[in-house]
Chain A
Amino acid sequence: MRKLQKSTRESIFTYAIVIVAFLATQGLMLSGNISSALTGQLVPICAYVVMAVSLNLTVGVLGELSLGHASFMSVGAFSGVTACISLANVIPSDPIRLVVGMVIGAICAGAAGFLIGIPVLRLNGDYLAIVTLAFGEIIKNLITCLSVGVDSRGLHFSFLTSSSMLNLEEGGTVIINGPMGIAGIPKLSTFTAGFILVVVTLFIVMNLVKSRAGRAIMALRDNRIAAESVGIPVTKYKLMAFVTSAALAGAAGALYAMNFSTIVATKFNFSTSILILVYVVLGGLGNIWGTVIAATVLTILPEMLRGFNDYRMLLYAIVLIIVMLATNNSRLKLIPAWLKKTLGSKTGKESISNE
């Protein structure tokens, strides 16, 4: 039997982890061995895994720090839920409506990613990071000012005015109510749907990374000038990674929103973006299965620390700091690894992803 390629083995391993985790959770749920608090966390875990894997595409594979990933989640959530509510009469089947909602969420977030990506990707390093942060705040602010309603004539939009200015007909409903966000969301998301979205995301991201385009994106990360000089179009591949990442985040946002009955734009703020970035860095830049595990563990961790009551978020912070110190402190590492790090790669990017 021929030995499989390293990357193929890695992807089989990643799919295996996810499928085993899904089956194990289903088994536990059937036998009733799972707490209700954790059951409520299952869909958010799936959404955060998709968020983290898609952010890893921008931060780990493309090598650009993005601090506004939650804004794409927000765009996806609001457009997806709007689509689901307004299509309630057209598509009666819940699963199909959920899929349509996620697809529309992904398309809207991808379009937002494209519009933001054109100016943002011209910048480099920390300046790029601050502009993504700025776009995240702008999108949050704009959605807070937006009202949307639906009646028999179609969708109505109004901006900076209250929802009573929508001019709805008799029997029309307000969907997005300015700062109050959306209330009365149909609870369409299921754990199975979340699992399928995770697998689809893994399939898209891992195949993109292994393709010709993926190698071009990684070449841009490692040395942009050298990549440019061998004829790799910088803007095209940067945008490809950025838009894919945004679209996946949009689908995750739609999934996440339809797990709750109400959702407001301020939920998807800077701290949410940072939370997802923490999953990516702890999981390992460019390391997909590490991200999956980090997102899952860190979403459950505050639940598991619930026994410590008020101290749980403090403990979470301490765990975060200690993990960062332990995995990055050169003095704590074994000497060969230290030698390799100091003599070998100067970028330090590999030193994280190799762990």
Chain B
Amino acid sequence: MSFLSHLISGISLGSIYAIIALGYTMVYGIAKMLNFAHGDVIMVGAYACFFMVSRYEIPAVVGVLSAVVICTLLGIIIERLAYKPLRSATSLAVLITAIGISYFLQNAAQLLWTSNPKVFNSLMGDGSVKLFDGRLSISVTAIVTIVVCVIIMLALTWFTGRTKMGKAMRACSEDKGAAQLMGINVNFTISMTFAIGSALAAIAGVLLCSAYPILTPTTGSMPGIKAFTAAVFGGIGSIPGALLGGVLLGIIEIFGKAYISTQLSDAIVFVVLIVVLLVKPTGLLGKQVQEKV
């Protein structure tokens, strides 16, 4: 039974990673940049929801929605002010700017909300579902997390496959120049991608803090790095890859903690990542790009 319960908590943690990884992978796919500030947008989303719900006592659903709106606006503003002027610069320059934004968000959060940890009460309550005569107990938070992740995946797959905007995004990630010639507004499409990524980050922030209820200005950085790893693991730029990578990473992490060593669980995750990348250098579902001279 303990195996099953570890498996479920692994999938639930992996679902959070997957939602964060979607933000990384979409932005990477379209703007070819590693957005290191993404982890801190998660933190902002979690704080926004925390203040809405526990300070101003707004209903949880409205709190989550306003966190989503705040993060979406934040994502668009960051993109406009910091990344858009660097569209033609080297990827390293954009990377360093993203790190600057990440420092900025962390320190602004520290000034506004101090570094004292806040205890985030799970929005889903702390109930649990008991199965097999109570031998297996699954928390409601874990169930909600998995369901939300599945819904987001289905919605995104529909969005990128069927809608005009989604098709524009895929076109831009394939070839920006050609997309522009076909009348697609590339700048707007990139802004939209950031908006969607940041909205997902807000949801991930709420889910993350519902499962691990300590909220500090650096809450987002380690899950951010792990989710980035998950995105690469599954093949960066690929949406199903982000899901697969995230869930596998979560399961490996929880199993590593449970069966091998708590201290070494991070090392185990990264060892698996390295082995996968050595066997399949573009990740599990990544596209092989033929090199040409």
| Cα(A73)–Cα(B261), bound, Å | 26
Q: Would B225 and A270 count as touching, CB distance under 8 A?
A: yes
Considering only residues 312-339 of chain A, those with a C-beta below 8 Å from chain B are 313-314, 316-318, 320-321, 324-325, 327-331
- Residues of B within 8 Å of A225, CB to CB, are 291, 293
CA distance A141 to B264 in the complex (A): 6
Tell me, rounded to whole Å, the shortest Cβ–Cβ distance linking B56 to chain A: 26
Question: Are B100 and A160 touching (Cβ within 8 A)?
Answer: no
Contact B270 A348 (CB under 8 A): no
A322 to chain B, nearest CB (A): 9
Quote the shortest CB–CB distance from B41 to chain A (angstroms): 15
Residue A77 at the chain B interface, CB threshold 8 Å: no
Is there an interface contact between A278 and B263, defined as CB atoms closer than 8 Å?
no
**B-contacting residues, A255-285, CB 8 Å:** 270, 274, 277-278, 281-282, 285
Contact B264 A145 (CB under 8 A): yes
| B107 and A317 contact, CB distance less than 8 A | yes
Stretch at the interface among A22-30, A129-137, A168-176: A129-137
Task: List the one stretch of A2-10, A11-19, A119-127, A150-158 in contact with chain B.
Answer: A119-127
In the complex, which residues 25-54 of chain B have their Cβ closer than 8 Å to any Cβ of chain A? Answer: 28, 34, 36
B89 at the interface (CB under 8 A from A): yes
Q: How far is the CA of A137 from the CA of B253 in the complex (A)?
A: 14
Q: Interface size bucket, A side? A: 35 or more
Given A127-B277, A131-B274, A317-B104, do A278 and B99 touch, yes or no (CB 8 Å)? yes
Inter-chain contact B229/A134, CB cutoff 8 Å: yes
Contacts of B271 in A (CB 8 A): 134, 138
CB-contacts of B77-104 with A (<8 A): 82, 85-86, 88-90, 92-93, 95-97, 99-101, 103-104
Smallest distance from the beta carbon of A151 to chain B beta carbons, Å?
A: 26
Are A320 and B103 in contact, with the CB atoms below 8 A?
yes
Most chain B C-beta atoms within 10 Å of own C-beta, residue among A142, A317, A329: A317
Q: Which residues of B contact A327 (CB under 8 A)?
A: 93
Measured between alpha carbons, how far is A310 from B96 in the docked complex, in Å? 23
CB neighbours (8 Å) of A285 from chain B are 92
Minimum Cβ distance to chain B for residue A127 (Å): 6
Q: Does A21 contact B (CB under 8 A)?
A: no
B96 interface neighbour in A133, A282, A329, Cβ under 8 Å: A282
B226 (CB) vs chain A CBs: closest residue: A137
Provide the residues of chain B in CB contact with A320, threshold 8 Å. 96-97, 99-100, 103
What is the number of contacts between chain A and chain B, taking CB atoms within 8 Å?
134
CB pair A65–B92 under 8 Å, yes or no, is: yes
CA of A324 to CA of B36, assembled, Å? 15
Q: How far is the CB of B31 from chain A (nearest CB, A)?
A: 13
Q: Which residues of B lie under 8 Å from residue A144 when comparing CB positions?
A: 263
Contacting pair A127 B263 (CB below 8 A): no
Contacts of B270 in A (CB 8 A): 134-135, 137-138
C-alpha gap A79/B61 in the complex (Å): 53
Q: Flag if A131 contacts B96 (CB, 8 Å).
A: no
Q: Which A-chain residue is minimally distant from B228 (CB atoms)?
A: A130
Q: Are B85 and A160 neighbours in the complex by a CB distance under 8 Å? A: no
- Beta-carbon contact of A141 and B263 below 8 Å: yes
Q: Is the CB of B277 within 8 A of A123?
A: yes
Interface pair B104/A142, CB less than 8 Å apart: no
Give Cα A282 to B85, complex, Å: 17
B213 on interface, CB distance cutoff 8 Å: no
Chain B contacts of A331 at CB under 8 A?
85
B278 lies within 8 A of chain A by Cβ: yes
Within 8 Å by CB of B281, from A122, A274, A351, lies: A122
Contacts A127-B282, A130-B229, A321-B101 given; indicate if A328 touches B86 (C-beta within 8 A): yes
A318/B104 in contact, CB under 8 A: yes
Residues of A that sit less than 8 Å from B by CB: 59, 65, 119, 122-124, 126-127, 129-131, 133-135, 137-138, 141-142, 144-145, 160, 179, 223, 225-226, 270, 274, 277-278, 281-282, 285, 310-311, 313-314, 316-318, 320-321, 324-325, 327-331, 348-349, 351-352
Known: A314-B107, A314-B111, A330-B89; 10 extra A-B contacts, CB below 8 A, are A127-B283, A130-B277, A131-B273, A134-B273, A138-B270, A282-B96, A318-B104, A320-B100, A321-B97, A348-B90
